[in-house]
Amino acid sequence: MSEPETLGLAEEFAHYRRTVLDKVEVPGPAAVRRTVRGRNRRRWGATATTVLALFGGSAIGYAAMNGPDHRPPPVDPTPSISVSPTPDGSTSPTPSASATSAGPGSAVPDGRISRAQLLGAAVTLPAWRAGLDCPSSAARLSGDSREGVNWLEALDHGDIDGDGAVETVALVRCVFGTGGSQQVVAFDRDEQGKVVTLGRVVATTIDKPQWLFALDVVGDGTVRVQVGDIAPGGGWPAEFSQRQWRGYRSQGDAFAQVSGPTSFAPNRHDVNLVVTATNLVLADAADGAKVGTVTVRIRNTAGLAAYVALRLGLPAEVRPDGSGWAACRNDPATTREPVRCDLNKLEGGKETQLTLGFRVPAGSTVGTGKADVDVRAMDADFDFVEEVYDVDNTVSVTYR
Amino acid sequence: MLVTRDVRVGAPPPEPPGNSIPAAPELVFDDFYHAHFRGLVVQLTAYTGDLGQAQDLVQEAFCRAYARWDRIAGYEDPLAWVRKVAWNLGHNRWRRLRTAQSWLLRQREAHVAGPSPDRVALDVALATLPPKQRRAVVLHYLADLSVAEIAAEEQVAEGTVKSWLHRGRTALATQLRDTTEEVRDV
């Protein structure tokens, strides 16, 4: 852009400033004081009325609502400047006021909603993800964690949209067993004092974050939420979860993350081994021994690769036999009760299948029984890794 | 306390000689109000295209500042707080809808003069800019903020502000040139 054009633009704005300045109406700081005092009176009046009504002081409550205001009218030390009428902004599609409005009659909604007030209000929640039965419209929040309720877990206040007034932010959980889904929701009040929902700040997902631990609104209006990658509950400890503080800000129509990490590092507990196995049926061999096989299928259904420790709790007389054990890094023949096979790394989403031979030497007898086939994940240092969901790590087979 | 580059317009007359009473907090607020109310209205008018709305937003922002003046008066730049609040009030969708409804209820009939053609031309040109460019241009030309100050206020990099300003200026110049030529053609 050329210098003359830049200078021309500066002059356009200078002219614009002069033109608009001539037309500005100045209500004055006295009007500010009247407005704020009026709001404070109404706020205190409403609080007093509520308290008195709760404790049966209906007559006094009535007086509080209707009694004359004995305060002297505010003194106006700085009279408003009288200027020409405000032109109608014909270029704007928005409604136009012809005069400033902040008189004693206008009220700013008080968005500071207490826990008790929020529990007592019917609220609209951003929809829960499919499959959850918690209500989201005309919903009541609950102070406890009964199954199927919207549990109000935490609450904080702050000016989250930068409008100079305080709003309320709540951490809500749709309780399902010891877990469920969670979301952080922003609330405000409308001019009638009704609780209105501003929107969702963040929610848990099937993927990550699976959990929201804590909530904190800081001075600049950022809503800080401590998120976790793996949900606790169901018997596994919250320590499995990696926690992060992430900051969210209102962008007008929605909240967006403005600070903190946006992804999680790999979690060592993000492993899920699943095992299935066939029964062991022993048959007579030519040398008088009994032989048979067990087919073991192991899947790693989660994200991280894991070394696999396979254990088969067969009687000591049932010995490993044949080439099916070649995949083991150890020597299974030296192990017994259980027989152990340490397998190589199994990548996430992959599976492996083994056909393991067994022999019961001639002269030994084994009856019929049940044996556990168990798989455990190990990390690169061959330390065992606890899984979030481990009921599918063991299967029972019959031997006979 | 005041870190302000806004043009001080509409300030009250100076104190009479001999008046040496220390300024009470309320008087400090009054000075602050008078120093910045009209300048902020000009900026908000340029941003919203609507003088009446701008006056409402700025007055409301001062109300919110007064309600917590003890704290805000101690800020390094209280003007930035009021300006931010006023702009956010105009920007937030739910506020806008709510305020629009209350305006409709309160609106009174008034017969007033229309805006000048020059003002309309700039209003129309500004309305074609994306909000971020419009905000940057208004803050630069009407709030007299530097690129660094705009970047701090908008929490973006200075390069981003420079880009907004460049694009905004180019679009405005084109719009205003076209408007001028249309007028000439008539």
- Nearest by CB to residue A163, choosing from B42, B88, B114, is B88
Average pLDDT for chain A? 81
Identify the residue among B63, B103, B105 best suited for mutation to test binding to A, counting A beta carbons within 10 A and taking the highest.
Answer: B63
| Antiparallel, parallel or unpaired: β A290-300 and A319-321 | unpaired
Pick from A12-16, A75-79, A114-118, A192-196: least confident: A75-79
Tens-place pLDDT, residues A297-333: 999 998 889 999 999 999 999 999 999 999 999 999 9
3-class SS at A373?
strand
Nearest by CB to residue B49, choosing from A6, A12, A89, is A89
Cβ contact, residue pair B113, A19, below 8 Å: no
List C-alpha distances in Å: B106 to A12, A99, B22.
33, 10, 40
SS3 call for A219: coil
Is residue B92 scored above 90 in pLDDT? no
**Tokens at residue A104, please?**
């004693």
For residue A98, which residues of chain B lie inside 8 Å, CB to CB?
A: 52, 107-110, 112
- What pLDDT is attached to residue B19? 47
Question: d(Cα B183, Cα B124) in Å, to the nearest integer?
Answer: 14
Query: Which residues on B lie below 8 Å from A90 (Cβ)?
Result: 114-115, 120
Q: Report CB contact under 8 Å: B33, A29.
A: yes
Name the β-bridge partners of A179.
A176
A1 closest CB neighbour out of B60, B114, B170:
B170
Distance from CA of B4 to the nearest CA of A (A): 17
Q: What is the secondary structure of A284-317 as a DSSP string?
A: E-TTS-EEEEEEEEEEE-SSS-EEEEEEE---TT
Q: Is 70 exceeded by the pLDDT of residue A103?
A: no
Question: Would you say residue A79 has pLDDT above 80?
Answer: no
CA–chain centroid gap for A141, Å, is: 17
Lowest mean pLDDT segment, chosen from A143-152, A228-237, A263-272: A228-237
**Selected residue of B37, B84, B123, B126 to mutate for chain A interface (largest A Cβ count, 10 A):** B37
Question: Taking the alpha carbons of B82, B86, B87, B89 in that order, is the dihedral positive or negative?
Answer: positive
- Between CA A41 and CA A35 the distance in angstroms is 10
Q: Are residues A164 and B85, on separate chains, in Cβ contact within 8 Å?
A: yes
Enumerate the residues of chain B whose CB falls inside 8 A of the CB of residue A39. 63, 67
Provide the pLDDT confidence category of residue A41 given band limits of 50, 70 and 90: low
Residue A191: its chain B contacts at CB < 8 A?
98, 102
Instruction: Determine whether the interchain pair A31/B48 forms a contact, defined as Cβ–Cβ distance below 8 Å.
Output: no
Lowest mean pLDDT among A4-18, A326-340, B114-128: B114-128
Q: According to the per-residue pLDDT averaged within each range, which of A386-390, B31-35, B114-118 is highest?
A: B31-35
| A278 to A70, A281, A371: CA distances (angstroms) | 89, 9, 11
- Residues B131-144, mean pLDDT to the nearest whole number: 92
User: CB distance A95–B104 less than 8 Å?
Assistant: yes
Please report the pLDDT score of residue B145 as a whole number: 93
- What are A353's strand-pairing partners? A297
Q: Mean pLDDT: which of A131-135, A185-189, A299-303 is highest?
A: A185-189
Residue A24, SS3 per DSSP: coil
Query: Buried b vs exposed e over A100-134: b needs ≥16 C-beta within 10 Å?
Result: bbbebebbbbbbebeeeebeebebebeebeeeeeb
Q: How many CA atoms lie within 13 A of B98 on its CB side?
A: 21
ipTM of the complex: 0.76
The CA distances from residue A255 to A217, A221, B134, B157, in Å, are: 13, 12, 22, 21
Q: Count CB-CB contacts under 10 A for residue A44.
A: 11
pLDDT band at A170 (very low <50, low <70, confident <90, very high): very high
Cα dist from A268 to A88, A243, A377, A388, whole Å: 64, 14, 10, 10
B172: distance to nearest CA of chain A, Å? 8
pLDDT, tens digit, 9 for 90 and up, residues A207-257: 899 999 999 999 888 999 999 998 876 555 677 889 999 999 988 778 999
Mean pLDDT of the A112-121 span = 94
**pLDDT, average across residues A69-94:** 30
Selection from B114, B140, B113, B116 nearest residue B47 by Cα: B140
Reported for A333-338, long-range contacts at CB under 8 A and 24+ positions apart, including other chains, are A337/A313, A338/A311, A338/A312, A338/A313, A338/A314, A338/A371, A338/A372, A338/A374
User: From CA A251, how far away is CA A255, in angstroms rounded?
Assistant: 6
What mean pLDDT comes out for the span B102-130?
A: 63
How many Cβ pairs within 8 Å bridge chains A and B? 222
**pLDDT score of B181 more than 80:** no
Q: How far apart are CA B147 and CA B160, in angstroms?
A: 9
pLDDT higher than threshold 50 for residue B17 = no
User: Which neighbouring-strand residues pair with A294?
Assistant: A356
pLDDT bin (cut points 50, 70, 90) of residue B22 is very low
> Do the Cβ atoms of A172 and A152 come closer than 8 Å?
yes
What average pLDDT does the structure give for chain B? 75
Contacts of B107 in chain A (CB under 8 A): 95-98
CA dihedral (B81, B86, B92, B95) positive or negative: positive
